[in-house]
Amino acid sequence: MSEFKKFKTSLQKQLEKMTKESNTLFLTETDGDFIWDLYLKSFPQGTNEIFRKKSEHDCSCCRHFIKNYGSIVVINNDNSLSSIWDSNDLEFPYNIVAEKLSIYVKSKPVVNPFVTKESKLGTDKNHEQLDSGEIKTWEHFSLIVPGAFLQTGNDSIEAIQGKKREDKTLFKRALEELSLDAAESILELIEQGSVYKGPEYKSSLMDFIKYKKKYLTVADQDKDLWCWKNSISSVTHIRNSAIGTFLINVSEGMDLDVSLAKFEKVVAPTNYKRPKAVFTKKMVEEAEKKIVELGFENSLARRFAKIDDITVNNVLFVNRDVRKKMSKSVFDDLKESATSTSNSKKFDKVEEVSIETFINDILPTSKNVELMVENRHQGNFLSVIAPKDPSAKSMLKWNNNFSWAYNGDITDSMKANVEKAGGNVTGVLRFSIQWNDKGDNNSDFDAHCIEPNLNEIFFPNKGSIHPSSGMLDVDVVYPEKEVAVENITWTDIRKMKEGRYKFFVNNFNKRSGKSGFSAEIEYEGQIYSFVYDRELRHKEDVLVAEIEFSKENGIKFIKSLDSTTSSKTVWGVGTNKFTRVSMCLLSPNYWDEQNGTGNKHYFFILEGCKNENQPRGFFNEFLNNDLAIHKHVFEALGSKMRVEDSDDQLSGLGFSSTQRNSVIAKVEGNITRTIKINF
pLDDT band at 329 (very low <50, low <70, confident <90, very high): very low
pLDDT, residue 192, reads 76
The pLDDT of residue 182 is above 70: yes
CA dihedral over 352, 355, 360, 364, signed as positive or negative: positive
pLDDT, residue 343, reads 32
The pLDDT of residue 349 is above 80: no
Q: What is the mean pLDDT of residues 381-391?
A: 89
How far apart are alpha carbons 225 and 236 in whole angstroms? Answer: 15
Task: List the single range of 113-122, 287-296, 385-394 with lowest mean pLDDT.
Answer: 287-296
State the DSSP H helix or E strand holding residue 506, giving kind and residue range, or none if neither: strand 499-509
Structure letter (DSSP) for residue 211 = H
Distances (CA, A) of 92 to 2, 6, 9, 373: 12, 11, 15, 104
pLDDT, residue 1, reads 45
Structure letter (DSSP) for residue 575 = S
Question: How do the domains of the chain map onto residue ranges?
Answer: 3-149, 174-278, 304-407+576-678, 423-565
Cα atoms found within 13 Å of the Cα of residue 415, Cβ hemisphere only? 21
Q: What is the mean pLDDT of residues 52-72?
A: 87
Nearest Cα neighbor of 207 from 166, 236, 229, 181 is 236
Structure letter (DSSP) for residue 648 = S
Percent with pLDDT over 70 in the chain: 88
423-565 is classed in which CATH architecture?
Answer: Sandwich (2.60)
Q: What is the mean pLDDT of residues 365-371?
A: 92
How far apart are alpha carbons 32 and 562 in whole angstroms? Answer: 87
Q: pLDDT tens digit string along 468-525? A: 999 999 999 988 778 899 999 999 999 999 999 999 999 999 998 888 999 999 887 7
pLDDT, residue 388, reads 87
pLDDT, residue 340, reads 34
pLDDT, residue 334, reads 38
Nearest Cα neighbor of 39 from 100, 108, 105, 119 is 100
pLDDT, residue 328, reads 41
The pLDDT of residue 13 is above 90: yes
Q: Which residue has the higher pLDDT, 669 or 179?
A: 179
Contact 241, 204 (CB under 8 A): yes
The pLDDT of residue 318 is above 80: yes
Contact 371, 581 (CB under 8 A): yes
pLDDT band at 565 (very low <50, low <70, confident <90, very high): very low
Instruction: Give the range with max mean pLDDT: 293-302, 305-314, 546-555.
Output: 546-555
Q: What is the mean pLDDT of residues 394-406?
A: 86
pLDDT band at 629 (very low <50, low <70, confident <90, very high): low
548 φψ region: left (φ > 0), alpha (ψ -120 to 50), beta (else): beta
Structure letter (DSSP) for residue 316 = S
The pLDDT of residue 425 is above 50: yes
Residue 93: is the preceding peptide bond cis (ω within 30°)? yes
